[in-house]
Amino acid sequence: MIIFKSINKLKEKVNIMANVGFVPTMGSLHKGHISLIKNSKQKCTKTVVSIFVNPSQFNKSSDFRKYPRNLKNDLKILKKLKVDYLLIPSINDVYKTKKQMKIKINNKDKILCSKYRPGHFEGVLGVISVFLKNIKAKYIFLGNKDFQQIYLIKKYLGNKFKTSIVVCKTIRFKNSLAYSSRNKLLSKKNIKNGIMISNIIKKFHDLIFNDFSKINEIENIRYKISNICTRVEYLEIRNKKNLKQNINKNNFKIFVAYYLDNVRLIDNF
């Protein structure tokens, strides 16, 4: 594995490759990341992984500071997976100007996480734009847990780059709680609470699929999970094709964001 701390040096090495897969991460790697990397290695000749905790997508500087980091363990995982290239850029290397840091999104897209984390997706789009412009990968691999993020990347960056987006399934702990770097901030008790919440929402999804009228029970579900977690930020059902509220049995998806103590988790079913 070749490690680069400069995007330009990586660009010199990688852009001559015809079939490059790119897996962007913020480090603190888990089984979800490992699945993305394995998908890339299977589909592509070479795989680039980035580790960059992007400051422009955090609403609070305290959240940025406490975001879990474990580079030593990440390197061990990536070497074991035989990743070809690792990019660990500095903030100055990624953002040459402040203008690059955020890409504006429309007000109608300020729903779900975008509503409750103003500026978050603008920051995500900014860093992904910089990476795709420079790395010029054939494919970028993203996890379905970040469903809204993928939707916005496709909408705002899809036509700007030739890179194809490969959406990979959500990897779950005990077939329930989605793997997330933030899980490392949870106590054992809150891991169990997260599993309970995931099970409740999955059962609700299956209930609606079998009887669409059960969609009206969403407030009961909100009440159930609010008794398990610290706070439910949102629980919404939207159209998985356009994130609008015109839903039916075949296009609905449940989105949730909640807090376990001071740790915010998201998921979708």
What's the confidence (pLDDT) of residue 128? 97
Judged against a pLDDT cut of 80, whether residue 99 lies above it is answered with no
What's the confidence (pLDDT) of residue 174? 86
Contact 233, 257 (CB under 8 A): yes
CA separation for the pair 23, 86 (Å, rounded)? 10
Q: Looking at 30, 33, 120, 205, which residue is catalytic?
A: 33
Structure tokens at 259: 């807090």
Contact 253, 237 (CB under 8 A): yes
Helix axes 147-157, 120-135, angle to 10 degrees: 60
Mind listing the pLDDT tens digit for each residue in 106-148?
Answer: 999 999 999 999 999 999 999 999 999 999 899 999 999 999 9
What's the confidence (pLDDT) of residue 252? 98
pTM: 0.94
% of the chain at pLDDT higher than 70: 98
Give 75's pLDDT tier (boundaries 50, 70, 90).
very high
What's the confidence (pLDDT) of residue 81? 98
Contact 53, 64 (CB under 8 A): yes
Contact 4, 131 (CB under 8 A): no
Judged against a pLDDT cut of 90, whether residue 199 lies above it is answered with yes
Q: What is the mean pLDDT of residues 66-74?
A: 95
What's the confidence (pLDDT) of residue 268? 98
33 classed as catalytic: yes
Judged against a pLDDT cut of 70, whether residue 89 lies above it is answered with yes
Domains identified in the chain and CATH numbers:
2-170 (3.40.50.620), 173-268 (3.30.1300.10)
Judged against a pLDDT cut of 80, whether residue 101 lies above it is answered with no
Comparing CA positions, the residue from 10, 2, 3, 1 lying closest to residue 131 is 10
